[in-house]
Structure 1
Amino acid sequence: MSKYIWVSLMLFFLLGCSGGKQQQQKAIVTEPGDGLTGTIQLSGAFALYPMVVRWAEEFKRIHPGVKIDISGGGAGKGMTDVLSGVVDIGMVSREIYPEELKKQAYPIATVKDAVVLTVNVNNPEIDVIRKVGITKEMASRLWSRGMTTWGEVLGTTSTLPVHVFTRSDACGAAETFASWFGKRQEALQATAVFGDPGVAAAIQKDKVGIGYNNVAYVYDQRTKRPFEGLEVIPIDLNEDGRISEEESFYQTSEILVKAIGEGRYPSPPAHDLFLVTKGRPQKEVVVAFLKYVLTDGQYLANETGYIGLSNDQLADERDKLKLNKD
């Protein structure tokens, strides 16, 4: 991972973020020291990692007797770990498969995120890329090795080669991205790189590269703008060969998050992110953490570059925990 992303993410994790308006409701200030103790172990999706770190920081402030261990590794690892009892909670950034539900996977939707397409900001064709964007059909062809030059992608005479990147780990980002054009992760044909940070770093180093990332790994949450070297490719939603003003909402994470929340960005690649337990959670400290995520913790979503759930969806998710709405 490049030094730009590492430095920015580390500052974000250590210091937190200060921008962005929150959910309509104000945070409920809870005094620390209520006696809750215990350990929570989580693993899984890179997409949820920054959000869960932020939640954990605040939850531990409120409950200093609680220890929370968090590791990445991809949505597939999170699901495997929770179903095998290695962790209390799996972080999963894709839909839950029927076979996983049969094995007692118990998903709780927490926030929304999106996968966006990324290129190097110094791509020689960057001006044309900004003007015409990319369609769903073009993306499908690119990730099936159906195109080899940027001229084919952009409809120009350019012979500049295009280097396509995907994820090597079983992950929600790849599964969600592939589902946008009716495929599964296994069907994506490209140079495989591990993790969200790995794909972002690969694009930063390759001027003719194209990849995809979750929003939190593209935008610096201090500046709300893309990390150095990265730019988001706009999606040509109406496929008319140009990016209109209505299709241009990628300048900052705040503008993009607003578009996702309003449904102007397609779903997929916008999607829900889940915290998954094996069966309905029973461990007191785990239930308390999930309750926090679905109540007070929602005000941190926009601040961290995610989209909070609607009040109706929050009520549905709290019902899964047998929680009251207050």
Structure 2
Amino acid sequence: MKSFISILTIYFLTAITSSAQNAEKKVVITGVRFSYPLVEKWIEAYKVVNPDVNVVIETRTTTDPAKYDLLIEAFDQDANIKESREFLYIGRYALLPVANAQSAFASEFGEKGLTNELIKQIYFNDIYADKKKQKEIKSQFTIYTRLQKAGAPITFAKYFGYEQTNIKGKAIAGADEHLVKALLKDSTGISYNVPGLLFDLKTRQPLAGLKIIPVDADGNGKVSDDERFYGTLDTVLDKIESGQIKNIPVEFLHLSIAKNSTNEEALKFLQWVASNGQETLEGFGFLKLDPKRLQAEKAKFDVAVN
């Protein structure tokens, strides 16, 4: 009997130890949902070289973000949050105006495009705007925007000098992908969104039913032929990466970890992404970091580990 009890004790101790070891090999990520396909690709590649590590994505809920090992987010955080977390800026994303392809708005602006002044007039509530200088817009339209605080609406509004709360239209619950679904159902719908949700990632063509609206990309007050570069996703990314494009908001995508984190595997995953994550960005509609910034990000986490 004593021998059997001893065997059971050893078994349970081994099971407990094994469970603890497995727990240490798990990394839980949450954050902005339009990044999930990209993160899933990173996880898939990471699993090949680290088969014993379980990296998973959990859809963000009301749970305290601090309960997750890593956050992937799409807007600049408040100073108090920056004090408690280390950030890896890994890529960038752009925001493009878009309309239902069958809408009168798409017919009116699909070719002539939008200037800075028109974007502000159409998308934002501005009590200080000079109504006498506003352009006549013949088509009826319905703007769809995010209800919750989120990276895309914050970035879109900030670029043009506003707050998320200044965006006009119907604020809907859910993620950025739900804005696309709303557009496809409403023949008057217009919105803004990231290229990765507006283009088919396989064909690299705009999604059927959507019309991406060109903008005055050089800031000269009109939209010329060379500013209508929305035929393929790769053309859009190349144009934005090639120089100082105006009227297309661009913001960083970043991963972060708590400074007091004890999950070594989470830090290792961050390091791996810093070294290997750039090659998959454009495939999912994101923009690469410039080489100098990338080296600085890599060095930051080398120091953190060593």
Instruction: Provide the TM-score with structure 2 as the length reference.
Output: 0.81
Tell me which residue corresponds to 1:217: 197
Residues 124-133 or 282-291, more deviating = 124-133
Structure 1: distance between partners of 2:245 and 2:38: 21
Structure 2: distance between partners of 1:44 and 1:297: 17
Asked whether the 8 Å contact 1:136–1:180 carries over to 2, the reply is no
| Residue 71 in structure 1 maps to residue 58 in structure 2 | yes
> Which one has a larger percent helix, Structure 1 or Structure 2?
2
- Over 3 Å counting, the alpha-carbon distance change for 1:72 and 1:264 in structure 2 is farther
Q: Work out which of the residue numbers 60, 78, 89 in structure 2 matches 1:97.
A: 78
> Which has the larger Rg?
2
Structure 2: distance between partners of 1:231 and 1:72: 29
Tell me which residue corresponds to 1:20: none
Q: Secondary structure at the match of 2:215?
A: coil
Asked whether the 8 Å contact 1:121–1:230 carries over to 2, the reply is yes
- Over 3 Å counting, the alpha-carbon distance change for 1:266 and 1:100 in structure 2 is farther
Q: Secondary structure at the match of 2:90?
A: strand
Asked whether the 8 Å contact 2:217–2:227 carries over to 1, the reply is yes
- Over 3 Å counting, the alpha-carbon distance change for 1:301 and 1:69 in structure 2 is same
Structure 1 unpaired stretches of 5+: 1-34, 147-151
Tell me which residue corresponds to 1:175: 154
Tell me which residue corresponds to 1:42: 29
Shift, 1:265, TM fit = 3.1
Alignment of 1:107-186 (within 5 A): 107-145=87-125, 155=135, 158=138, 160-186=139-165
Shift, 1:113, TM fit = 1.0
Shift, 1:179, TM fit = 0.8
Q: Work out which of the residue numbers 27, 37, 47 in structure 2 matches 1:60.
A: 47
Asked whether the 8 Å contact 2:218–2:246 carries over to 1, the reply is no
Asked whether the 8 Å contact 1:73–1:195 carries over to 2, the reply is no
Residues 263-272 or 202-211, more deviating = 263-272
Alignment of 1:187-206 (within 5 A): 187-193=166-172, 194-206=174-186
**Stretches of 4+ aligned residues off by more than 6 angstroms:** none
Letter aligned with residue 188 of structure 1: I
Shift, 1:139, TM fit = 2.2
Q: Secondary structure at the match of 1:321?
A: helix
Tell me which residue corresponds to 1:279: 259
Structure 2: distance between partners of 1:242 and 1:288: 48
Tell me which residue corresponds to 2:38: 51
- Over 3 Å counting, the alpha-carbon distance change for 1:165 and 1:275 in structure 2 is same
Q: Secondary structure at the match of 1:322?
A: helix
Structure 2: distance between partners of 1:281 and 1:142: 45
Shift, 1:293, TM fit = 1.0
Q: Work out which of the residue numbers 217, 220, 229 in structure 2 matches 1:237.
A: 217
Identical residues among aligned pairs (%) = 24
Structure 2: distance between partners of 1:280 and 1:318: 19
**C-alpha RMSD of the superposition:** 2.8
Structure 1: distance between partners of 2:260 and 2:290: 22
Structure 2 unpaired stretches of 5+: 1-21, 127-131
